[in-house]
């Protein structure tokens, strides 16, 4: 059985050749599976917010913009090429339908931000399962590049 590597909230893990990267219960957060198939190098990133406006920038993986760039930096440092890297994303749901208040739709803003940053970096987005109001657990098998999304009350989605 493959080794499972858990990626927490605002976190990123990389694996090469084998291993299953997993991140649990993505609500409005977004999980991104990065892959360079030629190297069989994969990374799973779990971001929570669209933009890094923090002065200290302590936790780069909390935000879509700094998280994506740092992941790409670490992958290219291992020999990956940005022209080969592909990305699949899942998450960006709206868990509660609440009118008024200061809630807003963080999920939607996360999706838009991820799209924008990937376009800016010239990275191909090859699959996505985003939006809606369902939480998702995301598994990414580095050996095959296969992603799987588990949700409550919904069939597993392979992508």
Partner 1 sequence: MKIKSFDELSSLELDTLREIGSIGTGNAATALGQLLEREVRITLPEVRIMGYNEAIDWIGGPEAVTAGVLVGMSGQMSGVMLSVQQLEFVNLVLETMLGVHINDYAELDEMHQSTLIEVGNILISTFINALSGLSGIAVSLTVPGFAVDMQGAILAVPMAMYGGTSDYLMTIGGNFVCDKKQVPCHLLLSPDVRSLNFLLAKLGVAE
Q: Which of 12, 22, 29, 118 is catalytic?
A: 29
Close Cβ partners of 153 (under 8 Å, ≥ 6 residues apart): 134
Quick one: which of 12, 21, 29, 123 contacts partner 1 (CB under 8 A)? 29
Residues 107-146 that bind partner 1 (CB under 8 A): 133-137
Q: Can you tell me which residue has the tokens 């291993």?
A: 19
For residues 94 and 105, is the Cβ–Cβ distance under 8 A? yes
Helix (H, G, I), strand (E, B) or coil at 62: helix
What does the alpha-carbon distance between residue 60 and residue 71 come to, in Å, rounded to a whole number?
A: 10
Q: Which sign does the torsion angle of CA 143, 5, 42, 88 carry?
A: positive
Quick one: which of 1, 77, 83, 102 contacts partner 1 (CB under 8 A)? 102
Quick one: which of 38, 95, 126, 158 contacts partner 1 (CB under 8 A)? 95
Closer CB to partner 1, residue 97 or residue 155?
97
Which of the stretches 69-77, 79-87, 88-96, 120-128 binds partner 1 when contact is defined by CB under 8 A? 88-96
Close Cβ partners of 129 (under 8 Å, ≥ 6 residues apart): 89, 90, 136, 149, 157, 159
29 part of the active site: yes
Say whether residue 93 binds partner 1 (CB under 8 A). yes
Say whether residue 53 binds partner 1 (CB under 8 A). yes
Active-site residue list: 29
Footprint of partner 1 (CB under 8 A): 8-11, 24-29, 48-49, 53-54, 58-59, 62, 93, 95-103, 106, 133-137, 150, 152-153
């Amino acid at each position: 059985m493959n080794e499972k590597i858990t990626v927490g909230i605002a976190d990123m893990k990389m694996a090469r050749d084998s291993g299953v990267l997993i991140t649990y219960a993505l609500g409005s957060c977004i999980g991104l599976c990065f892959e360079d198939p030629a190297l069989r190098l994969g990374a799973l990133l779990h971001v929570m917010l669209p933009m890094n406006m923090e002065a200290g920038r302590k936790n780069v993986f909390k935000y879509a913009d700094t998280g994506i760039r740092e992941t790409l930096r670490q992958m290219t440092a291992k020999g990956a090429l940005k022209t080969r890297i592909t990305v699949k994303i899942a998450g960006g749901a709206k868990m509660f339908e609440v009118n008024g208040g200061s809630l807003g739709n963080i999920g939607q803003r996360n999706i838009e931000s991820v799209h924008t940053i990937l376009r800016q970096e010239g990275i191909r987005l090859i699959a996505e399962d985003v939006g809606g109001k369902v939480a998702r657990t995301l598994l990414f098998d580095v050996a095959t590049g296969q992603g799987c999304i588990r949700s409550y009350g919904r069939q597993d989605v392979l992508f």
